[in-house]
A and B are shown apart, each in its own frame.
Chain A
Amino acid sequence: MNIYEHTYIAVPEANKKDIEQIEKKIEEILVKNSGKIHKTEDWGLRSLSYPIKKNNKGYYRNVYFEGNKDAVKEIESFEKYEDKIIKYLSMKLKNLPKEDSELAKEKN
Chain B
Amino acid sequence: MKRKKTKKKTGFGLSSKSNLLAKKNCPLSKKNEDEINYKNLKLLKKYISDSAKILPTRITNVSHSKQKILVREIKRARALALLPYVGN
Q: Which A residues fall within an 8 A CB radius of B? A: 7, 9, 46, 48-50, 52, 58, 60, 87, 89, 91, 101-103
Q: State A101–B42 Cα separation when bound (angstroms).
A: 12
Cβ contacts under 8 Å, A48 to chain B: 81
Interface residues of B, CB < 8 Å — how many?
14
Q: How far is the CB of B75 from chain A (nearest CB, A)?
A: 10
- Which residue, A49, A87, A89, has most C-beta atoms of chain B within 10 A? A49
B26 within 8 A of A: no
A50–B40 CB distance below 8 A: no
How would you classify the secondary structure of chain B's contact residues: helix, strand, loop or mixed?
Answer: loop
How would you classify the secondary structure of chain A's contact residues: helix, strand, loop or mixed?
Answer: strand
Q: Beyond A89-B76, A91-B76, is A49–B39 a contact (Cβ under 8 Å)?
A: no
Q: How far is the CB of A37 from chain B (nearest CB, A)?
A: 18
Known pairs A7-B80, A102-B40. 19 more at Cβ < 8 A?
A: A46-B82, A48-B81, A49-B83, A49-B84, A49-B85, A50-B81, A50-B85, A58-B81, A87-B79, A87-B80, A87-B81, A89-B80, A101-B39, A101-B40, A102-B39, A102-B41, A102-B42, A103-B39, A103-B41
Q: Which B residues fall within an 8 A CB radius of A? A: 37, 39-42, 76, 78-85
Q: State A50–B37 Cα separation when bound (angstroms).
A: 20
> Top 5 nearest A-B pairs by Cβ distance?
A48-B81, A49-B84, A101-B39, A49-B81, A103-B39
Q: How far is the CB of A11 from chain B (nearest CB, A)?
A: 13
5 contacts between A and B (CB under 8 A): A9-B80, A46-B82, A49-B82, A50-B84, A89-B80
